[in-house]
């Protein structure tokens, strides 16, 4: 059924997020979903994290450039939180408020998977990472999160050059993968887990089928 009517001042659009490890096809599926929804006459805002605002672009250069070198886990998490805060304020919330479908490549779950599980922080620190990320995003959560699951070795093999995060070792990326799957298992109503090795068109069809009940009927 379509989303229930929002309270006054709350977003009226639909928020969809693609998550998963490196090379899983998030950008491709985000684009295909936009094309499918625009063909239905819907307004779609396609976006990504980190870096899809002027401020975010500067933060992205800092946090992903190999030239940055080592950052403390706290510094890294706070940079990502700052990007998210600006992204939600400047782009996501305005689009949802006018009734658009927002499709983002990465969101809060990536912070929890990478800056939390990937960095192997303690449970207490992970709770703090989540608290900061939720505060930065005003606790705005996607209606649907699609996790594209892929063996990290297969995903990373698709890259020639690697940024700071992609260059982390295999155990880091295995922890990231496991974290995405744990989050999805804990809230199956809001998640769709798909095998990223499946044909691109099959994945796209599964996403549009799952999303359809969340979309308001066209006028």
- Asked if residue 26 belongs to a known ligand binding site, the reply is yes
Cβ neighbours of 124 (radius 10 Å)? 7
- Asked if residue 25 belongs to a known ligand binding site, the reply is yes
| Distance, CA of 22 to CA of 138 (rounded, Å) | 27
Tell me whether residue 152 is exposed, middle or buried, using C-beta atoms within 10 angstroms of its C-beta: 0 to 12, 13 to 18, 19 or more: buried
Phi, then psi, of 8 in degrees rounded to 5: -55, 130
Q: Which conformational region is residue 9 in: left (phi greater than 0), alpha (psi within -120 to 50 degrees), or beta?
A: left
* Alpha helices (H) in the chain, listed in sequence order: 26-39, 54-64, 73-87, 93-97, 108-110, 123-136, 152-156, 170-186, 200-211
- Asked if residue 23 belongs to a known ligand binding site, the reply is yes
Phi, then psi, of 98 in degrees rounded to 5: -95, 10
Cβ distance 30 to 51 under 8 Å? no
- Asked if residue 41 belongs to a known ligand binding site, the reply is no
Q: Helix (H, G, I), strand (E, B), or coil: what is residue 148?
A: strand
- Asked if residue 219 belongs to a known ligand binding site, the reply is no
| Cα-trace Rg, the chain | 17
Give the residue numbers of the binding site: 20-27
Give the residue numbers of the binding site for ATP: 20-27
């Amino acid at each position: 059924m379509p989303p229930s009517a929002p309270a006054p001042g709350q977003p009226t659009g639909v928020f969809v997020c693609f998550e998963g490890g490196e090379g899983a096809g998030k950008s491709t599926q985000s684009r295909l979903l936009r094309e499918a929804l625009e063909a239905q006459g819907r307004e779609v805002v396609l976006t990504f994290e980190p870096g899809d605002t002027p401020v975010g672009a500067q933060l992205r250069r800092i946090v992903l450039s190999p030239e940055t070198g080592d950052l403390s886990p706290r510094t890294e998490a706070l940079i990502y939180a700052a990007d998210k805060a600006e992204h939600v304020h400047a782009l996501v919330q305005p689009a949802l408020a006018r009734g658009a479908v927002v499709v983002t490549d990465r969101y809060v779950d990536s912070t929890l998977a990478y800056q939390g599980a990937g960095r192997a922080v303690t449970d207490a620190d992970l709770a703090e990472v989540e608290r900061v990320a939720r505060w930065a995003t005003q606790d705005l959560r996607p209606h649907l999160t699609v996790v594209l699951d892929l063996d990290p070795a297969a995903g990373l093999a698709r890259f020639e050059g690697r940024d700071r995060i992609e260059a982390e070792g295999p155990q880091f990326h295995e922890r990231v993968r496991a974290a995405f799957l744990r989050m999805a298992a804990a809230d199956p109503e809001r998640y769709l887990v798909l095998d990223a090795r499946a044909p691109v068109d099959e994945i796209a069809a599964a996403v549009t089928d799952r999303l359809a009940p969340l979309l308001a009927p066209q006028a």
